[in-house]
């Protein structure tokens, strides 16, 4: 059965980002727009004659800069934010392109009833009359999406089977209220988010249906807003499709839906004293990026014995490469009483990396040799065994393929067995076998996103050679802080753990450990621990974690002289 959807919209015109979403929903084969409710209060306001503005004589022209000066000097004024917003618009505005906030006529839809609702205002909230409630219920909606009105309360929440869905343009765990995109800059956070919620009577404390996290702009609130508003369509469409195919219970079972969200302070437009710290954050970023240094980044490896708290590390055994290259993405394999370390090796003068392997003895890497070299970049040598055969799947995104290599003579000789996926750009493909099913985790490149480290997708197959079926929940995560794979799936204290990267501050900043629950029609992920960069002085970050036969290996990166 098609999913029956309704929209609550502010008026006959809406913002372009909302119009684009309605158009995308209209084009979905198994989703039908059945109802559009317009805000009658807004229509009355628009039709009310505006008072005639007095002529702006010389006095008004002189008074305007005086008012601005007073607003700048008043600690509780908004003058600084006003000037910043004008500067931001000038330098980061659409520049003639279509803006996400351009006004668009909502139009008519063949299967939808459009009616004007008359909300009852009580303070900042809207309630609905019994006649409007009954009119909405007659359409037997599965989902009602809120794009307009004020805070809505009362029986409206029970007018559709799966409730009222609405966007909060921020991470509702930390930022309730608004405005969007500015408090993250004031607080110096590396990420921004948009949250799709099942509304409740408490502002920004409804159940979380989905959340999308993105890298925060260095200096621009407007850029932040463009990123999170543009992400809304993908988020809503993904969850509408999931509800249509698997029912709302599949969403209710996720860790995200069941997370506890506390009632934190409701934020409002920042006053002068509140916004000043943002410029200190800007200055530190600017100086840090432009401080003259003749250095380059070098990745290196480190090992320690297994055991201890998940995510802890020390400088127990460092494996430092020569200054003309780096080692990264380490994987460990034991065979015939020997332990081998596979990794990405990049010689700076070559420009692209190959895969190498060496023996690990007493924390030292010996007999390091290249094993797979192509005329494009290779990294992340995911090594595994299946039915007495050794296989290796590297990241080969620049070839737009996922390549499966088979071992001919362990560990130094490998041959290409098959391109198991073609015409795709997947990052850090990671295999996990559950009973007879192979699951492949990878980040999927999306040209509409600001970063390649946001979208975690899963594919499954009964054979390592394919064919591979996309998971119905794809992307299973949309989160720059916790998405890109960072090593083998493993068990810890009986829990299935997927390591991922936190790439919000920068690529390869930290490793997260996530408890996952996966099947062909279900996926849930919850962060339980992490490895911060501070395990070694001067370390800039880590992005791989693997364990084998009593040894844990990770990588780090540092500055060395150029």
pLDDT in tens, 380-414: 999 999 999 999 999 999 999 999 999 999 999 99
Q: What is the pLDDT of residues 453-480, one digit of tens each?
A: 999 999 999 999 999 999 999 999 999 9
Q: What tokens appear for 123 in the block?
A: 């303070």
Tell me the mean pLDDT in the region 212-219: 94
Instruction: Output the pTM of the full model.
Output: 0.90
Phi and psi torsions of 276, nearest 5°: -55, -40
pLDDT the model gives residue 124: 87
Q: What is the pLDDT of residues 284-297, one digit of tens each?
A: 998 988 887 789 99
Cβ(509)–Cβ(500) under 8 Å? no
Q: Which of the four pLDDT bands, split at 50, 70 and 90, describes residue 261?
A: confident
Judge whether residue 94 has pLDDT over 80. no
Domains in the chain (CATH in brackets) are 3-45+69-288 (3.40.50.170), 295-370+441-459+468-561 (no CATH)
pLDDT the model gives residue 51: 61
Q: Which of the four pLDDT bands, split at 50, 70 and 90, describes residue 561?
A: very high
Average pLDDT of the residues of the chain: 92
% the chain with pLDDT above 90: 81
Judge whether residue 104 has pLDDT over 60. yes
Tell me the mean pLDDT in the region 256-267: 85
Judge whether residue 156 has pLDDT over 60. yes
Task: Tell me the three-class secondary structure of 92-119, residue by residue.
Answer: HCCCCCCCCCCEEECCCCCCCEEEEECC
Interhelix angle 221-230/79-92, nearest 10 degrees: 60
pLDDT the model gives residue 204: 63
pLDDT the model gives residue 61: 67
Tell me the mean pLDDT in the region 35-48: 82
pLDDT the model gives residue 308: 83
Contacts of 464 (CB under 8 A, 6+ apart): 386, 391, 404, 420, 431, 438
pLDDT the model gives residue 146: 97
Cβ(146)–Cβ(120) under 8 Å? no
Cβ(137)–Cβ(157) under 8 Å? no
Judge whether residue 524 has pLDDT over 70. yes
pLDDT the model gives residue 372: 98
DSSP 241-280: HHHHHH-THHHHTSTTTT------PEE-S--HHHHHHHHH
Q: What is the pLDDT of residues 420-445, one digit of tens each?
A: 999 999 999 999 999 999 999 999 98
Number of H helices, E strands in the chain: 10, 35
DSSP 272-313: HHHHHHHHHHHHHHHHHHHS---EEEEEEEEEEES-SSTT--
Q: What tokens appear for 386 in the block?
A: 């299946």
């Amino acid at each position: 059965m098609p999913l029956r959807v309704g929209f609550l919209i502010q008026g006959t015109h809406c913002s372009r980002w909302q119009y684009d979403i309605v158009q995308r929903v209209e084009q979905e084969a198994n989703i039908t727009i059945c109802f559009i409710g317009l805000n009658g209060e807004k229509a009355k306001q628009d039709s009310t004659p505006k008072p005639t503005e007095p002529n702006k004589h010389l006095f008004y022209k002189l008074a305007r800069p005086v008012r601005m000066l007073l607003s700048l000097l008043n600690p509780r004024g908004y003058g600084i934010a006003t000037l910043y917003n004008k500067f931001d618009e000038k330098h980061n505005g659409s520049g003639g392109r279509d803006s996400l906030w351009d006004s668009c006529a909502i139009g008519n839809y063949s299967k939808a009833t459009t009616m004007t609702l008359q909300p009852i205002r009580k303070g900042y909230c809207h309630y609905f009359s019994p006649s409007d409630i009954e009119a909405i219920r007659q359409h037997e909606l599965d989902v009602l999406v809120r794009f307009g009105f004020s805070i809505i309360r009362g029986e409206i929440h029970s007018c559709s089977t799966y409730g009222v869905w609405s966007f909060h343009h921020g991470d509702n765990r930390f930022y309730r209220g608004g405005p969007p995109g500015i408090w993250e800059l004031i607080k110096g956070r590396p990420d921004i988010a948009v949250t799709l919620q099942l509304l409740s009577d408490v502002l920004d404390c409804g159940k979380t249906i989905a959340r999308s996290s993105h890298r925060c702009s260095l200096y621009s609130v407007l850029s932040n807003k463009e990123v999170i508003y543009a992400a809304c369509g993908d988020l809503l469409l993904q969850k509408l499709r999931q509800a249509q195919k698997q029912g709302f219970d599949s969403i209710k079972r996720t860790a995200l839906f069941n997370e506890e969200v506390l009632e934190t302070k409701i934020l409002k437009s920042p006053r002068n004293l509140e916004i000043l710290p943002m410029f200190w954050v800007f200055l530190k970023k600017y100086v840090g990026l432009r401080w003259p240094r003749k250095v380059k980044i070098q990745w290196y490896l480190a090992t320690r014995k297994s055991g201890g708290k998940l995510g802890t590390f020390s400088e127990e055994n460092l494996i430092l490469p020569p200054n003309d290259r780096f080692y990264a993405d380490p994987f460990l394999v034991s065979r015939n009483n020997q332990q081998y370390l596979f990794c990405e090796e990049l010689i700076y003068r070559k420009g692209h990396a190959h895969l190498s392997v060496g023996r690990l003895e007493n924390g030292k890497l010996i007999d390091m040799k290249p094993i797979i070299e192509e005329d494009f970049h290779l990294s992340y040598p995911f090594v595994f065994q299946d039915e007495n055969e050794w296989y290796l799947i590297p990241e080969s995104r620049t070839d737009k393929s996922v390549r499966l290599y088979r071992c001919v003579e362990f560990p130094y000789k490998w041959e290409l067995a098959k391109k198991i996926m073609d015409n795709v750009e997947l990052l850090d493909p990671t295999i996990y076998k559950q009973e007879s099913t192979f699951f492949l985790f990878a980040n999927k490149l999306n040209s509409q996103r600001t970063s390649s480290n946001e979208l975690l997708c899963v594919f499954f197959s009964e054979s390592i050679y394919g064919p591979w079926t996309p998971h119905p929940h794809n992307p299973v995560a949309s989160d720059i802080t916790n998405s890109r794979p960072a090593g083998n799936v493993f068990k810890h204290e009986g829990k299935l753990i997927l390591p991922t990267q936190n790439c919000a501050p920068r690529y390869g900043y930290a490793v997260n450990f996530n408890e996952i629950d996966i099947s062909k029609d279900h996926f849930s992920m919850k962060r339980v621990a992490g490895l911060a960069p501070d395990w070694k002085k001067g370390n800039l970050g880590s992005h791989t974690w693997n364990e084998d036969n009593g040894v844990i290996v990770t990588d780090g990166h540092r500055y060395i002289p150029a």
